[in-house]
């Protein structure tokens, strides 16, 4: 069976779907549609390398704590591995393995010469000081020093990490090899080779895909009612860009609660409020309170889950009223819920397409770093727009040719391109 070396994870609820099981199910569905050779499917079902390292860290009070850090490298048939590093209490090896697989299909779908990888440490960043986080990040990087590099595996920020952690990773790697290597990570500060536009990239990609999907329905963003679950880097960037484009963002939420306004939230004012209130949206004076779960079932035109996986399940799918669901998070809609939504005619914009803006601009940052020629933000955004729209149009064309859903179309394109590369390159030895 797929990934037999990874022990199963206890399910927190009957509706919970293991991210790895779900990722493998989508792969198998795409393989059936493509009539993929079973030997290639066997290769694609398993990561090439799984690394788990021990991270001893001295806390500020002198106590030593040992954490486990993971890095899963799924496939590098198209180019170096690429994927984020997440710091979150729910990080597991199975979750990281699923995300590495999804990154492989995402890069192939977008036409980016990367393979998929993902890394993470099960910790709550809020429970550690900045000094402790730096020591954790540098030790984690040191343990992976032989497994990462600008032509091998290029980490990036993810949930719980940012440009700060990428700067620490770049510095640690550079010190170990004896010279500055800006291309070892992406999502860095501008001062050390980061790219303009990177911070807003994933949210901008979400906006672009939502805009294109609405256009196909004969609608525009102006006046469109949108609810966003999650107001972190991705959710807040998407909210701001959608607001600027004329959409009505009627609700946003985080794990601690949400806010709602039927006439549309003032997103710039909300971002200012969040910055002044320790990143909390609770109590925003220009809106009423709403629960995180309640937000998902609001009557709206577009629902954007931008938090964690398993948010729309068989338990709540019948109460979803949105006509378009844009997966800004990875795996927020379970397989069963996705089937129910498609049966009702709801458009589900799949994660490997919708949230690909971040890896696109990471790729553009990598290209700039390797060439030591850096672009202005206008060019970065233009290149991002071209690649996102191109991928969306190709996926839409695939739905028409094969008479399949948009999700399956995206997977057949991504999986098919990787499979073709295996066929062309052959198996060594």
Distance CA 131, CA 383 (A): 37
CB count in 10 Å sphere of residue 176: 12
Catalytic residue among 118, 126, 146, 188: 118
Distance CA 178, CA 335 (A): 47
Distance CA 67, CA 160 (A): 16
Residue with tokens 């792969």: 27
CB-based contact 11:95 (threshold 8 Å):
no
Distance CA 317, CA 325 (A): 12
Would strands 81-87 and 347-349 be described as parallel, antiparallel, or unpaired? unpaired
Distance CA 183, CA 118 (A): 17
Distance CA 251, CA 258 (A): 7
Dihedral sign, CA of 181, 187, 191, 197?
A: positive
Confirm whether 106 is a catalytic residue.
no
Exposed, middle or buried by CB within 10 Å (0-12, 13-18, 19+), for 215? exposed
* Distance, C-alpha 91 to centroid of its chain: 14
Residue with tokens 């590093």: 85
CB-based contact 406:347 (threshold 8 Å):
yes
Exposed, middle or buried by CB within 10 Å (0-12, 13-18, 19+), for 25? middle
Exposed, middle or buried by CB within 10 Å (0-12, 13-18, 19+), for 223? exposed
Ordered DSSP codes for 1-22 = -TTTTSPP---SSTT---HHHH
Distance CA 423, CA 429 (A): 14
Q: Which residues, at least 6 apart from 33, have a Cβ–Cβ distance to it below 8 Å?
A: 402, 404, 408, 412
Coil/strand/helix, residue 337: helix
Supply 248's token pair. 């009505």
- Active-site residue set: 118
């Amino acid at each position: 069976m797929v990934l037999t070396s990874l022990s199963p994870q206890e399910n927190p609820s009957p509706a919970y779907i293991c991210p790895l099981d779900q990722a493998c199910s989508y792969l198998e569905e795409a393989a059936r549609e493509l009539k993929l050779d079973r030997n290639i499917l066997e290769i694609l079902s398993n990561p090439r390398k799984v690394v788990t390292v021990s991270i001893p860290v001295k806390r500020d009070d002198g106590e030593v704590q040992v954490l486990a850090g993971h890095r899963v490298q799924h496939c590098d048939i198209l180019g170096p591995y690429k994927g984020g590093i997440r710091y979150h209490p729910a990080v597991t090896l199975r979750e990281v393995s699923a995300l590495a697989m999804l990154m492989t299909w995402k890069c192939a779908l977008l036409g980016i010469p990367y393979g998929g990888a993902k890394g993470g440490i099960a910790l709550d960043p809020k429970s550690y000081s900045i000094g402790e986080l730096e020591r954790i990040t540098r030790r984690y990087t040191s343990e992976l020093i032989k497994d990462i590099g600008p032509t091998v595996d290029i980490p990036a920020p993810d949930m719980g990490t940012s440009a700060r952690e990428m700067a620490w990773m770049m510095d640690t790697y550079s010190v170990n090899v004896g010279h500055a290597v800006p291309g070892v990570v992406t999502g860095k500060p501008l001062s050390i080779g980061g790219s303009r536009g990177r911070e807003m990239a994933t949210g901008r990609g979400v906006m672009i895909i939502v805009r294109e999907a609405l256009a196909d329905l004969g609608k525009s963003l102006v006046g469109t009612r949108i609810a966003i679950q999650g107001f972190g880097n991705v959710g807040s960037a998407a909210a701001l860009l959608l607001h600027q484009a004329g959409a009505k963002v009627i609700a946003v939420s985080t794990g601690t609660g949400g806010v709602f306004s039927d006439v549309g939230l003032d997103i710039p004012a909300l971002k200012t409020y969040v910055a002044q209130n320790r990143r909390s949206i609770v109590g925003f004076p220009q809106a009423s309170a709403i629960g995180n779960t309640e937000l998902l079932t609001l009557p709206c035109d577009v629902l954007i889950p931008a938090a964690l996986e398993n948010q729309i399940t068989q338990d709540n799918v019948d109460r979803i009223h949105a006509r378009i669901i844009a997966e800004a998070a990875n795996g927020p809609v379970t397989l069963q819920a996705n089937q129910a939504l498609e049966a009702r005619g709801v458009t589900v914009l799949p994660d490997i397409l919708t949230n690909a803006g971040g890896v696109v601009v990471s790729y553009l940052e990598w290209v700039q770093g390797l060439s030591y020629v850096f672009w202005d933000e206008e060019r970065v955004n233009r290149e991002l727009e071209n690649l996102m729209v191109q991928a969306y149009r190709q996926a839409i064309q695939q739905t028409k040719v094969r008479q399949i859903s948009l999700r399956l179309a995206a997977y057949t394109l991504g999986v098919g391109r990787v499979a073709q590369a295996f066929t062309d390159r052959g198996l060594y030895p």
